[in-house]
Structure 1
Amino acid sequence: MEDLPPEALDRVAAYFQALSEPTRLQLLNRLRTGEHNVGELAQACGCTSANVSRHLAVLMQQGLVEREGRGTAVYYRIADDSVYALCDLVCGNIARQLERGAGGREVFLRAAAPRPARR
């Protein structure tokens, strides 16, 4: 981050802000398996299609996902695979911290488990 102008730091902050929402992380994780449409993602994440669409718009704005229309359906896929290296690095670090602390890995696994549906 050395010598980055304030505008670049703003973009970096916006990128991390896009990754700071659990539902968006869940969507990115679902897209690891390949492209999906909004309905598939909504069902898998337990969210409404409108909510998933809003989250996907944020991820698209940061260049993390891209969309492709096919007939009446729109499919989303990962645009930048490097996000997985970043997420895996952070998740690995958190898992190690939890293993050293109270509760260990089980706490991390419970925290990473799918959440009840948000409406």
Structure 2
Amino acid sequence: MQGLTPEALAQVAAYFQALSEPTRLQILNLLRGGEHNVGEMATACGYTSANISRHLALLMKHGLVARESRGNAVYYRIADESVYALCDLVCGSIARQWDKSAQDRKAFARVKPPSPVGRSKRS
């Protein structure tokens, strides 16, 4: 991103913002298996067709998905496969962070609590 103008950086931020919504990631993940129409995606994702259509419009705006009309149906597919490489990088990074956190928690779990201080046994 070095050397990009503020306008270009705003476009990059908007692209990442399009990927920052779980429903849109769910749509992209579904489309990874092949093209679908809005009704199929709504059923698979558990949302209304209107909601899915709104998310698809934003994904199309950023060039992530493409649409094709066939008779009365419109089918969507991935337009830019590189989005999966980006998502895989992010998922790998998150997995490494979780692994590190788990290791850190294990290190603390091995530490024995100190014995009580200042308690004497009285008979």
For the aligned pair, the TM-score class normalised by the smaller chain equals 0.7 to 0.9
Q: CA RMSD in A?
A: 1.2
Residue 5 of structure 1 is matched in structure 2 by 5
Bigger Rg, structure 1 or 2: 2
| Structure 2: segments with no counterpart, 5+ residues | 104-123
Work out the CA distance in 2 between the residues paired with 1:35 and 1:42: 13
State how 1:7-26 maps to structure 2 within 5 Å.
7-26=7-26
One-letter amino acid matched to 2:42: A
Work out the CA distance in 2 between the residues paired with 1:6 and 1:93: 27
Q: Which has the higher contact order (CA 8 A, sep 6+)?
A: 1
| Structure 1: segments with no counterpart, 5+ residues | 104-119
Work out the CA distance in 2 between the residues paired with 1:44 and 1:95: 26
- SS of the residue corresponding to residue 101 of structure 1 reads helix
What's the % identity of the aligned pairs?
Answer: 76
In the alignment of these two chains, the number of paired residues is 103
Instruction: Report runs of 4+ in structure 1 exceeding 3 Å deviation.
Output: none
TM-score, with length taken from structure 1: 0.84
Residue 51 of structure 1 is matched in structure 2 by 51
One-letter amino acid matched to 1:53: S
State how 1:22-37 maps to structure 2 within 5 Å.
22-37=22-37
- SS of the residue corresponding to residue 59 of structure 2 reads helix
